[in-house]
Amino acid sequence: MLRRVALMGLVLFLVGCGGSGKRSATGSVPVKTIAVPSRTVTYSSAASAMEPTIHCARPGTGCQGTANDGLVTKEPATGLQRADIVVFRTPPLAAVKCGAGGKFVKRIIGLPGDVWEERNGYVYIDGKKLDEPYVQAERRDAQTLTLADIPPLRTMKQIPQDMYLVMGDNRSSSCDSRVWGLVPRANIIGKVVQILRQSNG
């Protein structure tokens, strides 16, 4: 699902939310011209699971971009937090359930120790509704699930240590942890630090 492209030294063009570039409480990715951390790899995503945060190219189903966005990723990933966008190796079940495996990009929603659930398309952590400004209303689904409903079925009440629950921002079109289970910490390759979008001008 993700393609590795060239190493980057300096980001010259970034698009998204403006501002100071500091991480906000919602975990948005900084989007301004800055020096890239010393060890980075750039990937490209051709799937719509993270729309509209990360664009894939039309005429792909659900895609809004003129080209696939580039994802500058710091490797290895450190200091993982809720709402971080990460590149990871999928568990084997993803290939069975999604028809594709390998490297995916999703957003961390559930952390070790969390009690996660989805009620009518909205996420709750430890019983409290999660504020998710990165999910557009028309891209939500209407599912109601608990940790007991995700693989391996009926085995978890809270997220185990060194495991993460990841979801796409395009909830109605994302094959994610709800379908194939949690992501082990060892499978997380890197954290997205910038999104590169092709200029239309």
Q: Which residues pair with 163 in a beta bridge?
A: 184
Q: Which are the catalytic amino acids?
A: 45, 106
Give the tens place of pLDDT for each residue, 17-32.
333 444 444 467 766 6
Burial classification of residue 137, based on how many CB atoms lie within 10 Å of its CB (0-12 exposed, 13-18 middle, 19 or more buried) = exposed
- Whole-structure pTM value: 0.81
Distance CA 96, CA 183 (A): 16
3-state secondary structure of 149: helix
Distance CA 182, CA 178 (A): 8
Phi, psi of 129 (to 5 degrees): -65, 130
Give the tens place of pLDDT for each residue, 68-89.
999 999 999 999 999 999 999 9
Ramachandran sector of residue 79 (left: φ over 0; alpha: ψ -120 to 50; beta: rest): left
The predicted pLDDT at position 7 comes to 37
Burial classification of residue 8, based on how many CB atoms lie within 10 Å of its CB (0-12 exposed, 13-18 middle, 19 or more buried) = middle
Segment holding 96, helix H or strand E: helix 93-98
Give the tens place of pLDDT for each residue, 121-149.
999 999 999 999 999 999 999 999 999 99
Contact 45, 54 (CB under 8 A): yes
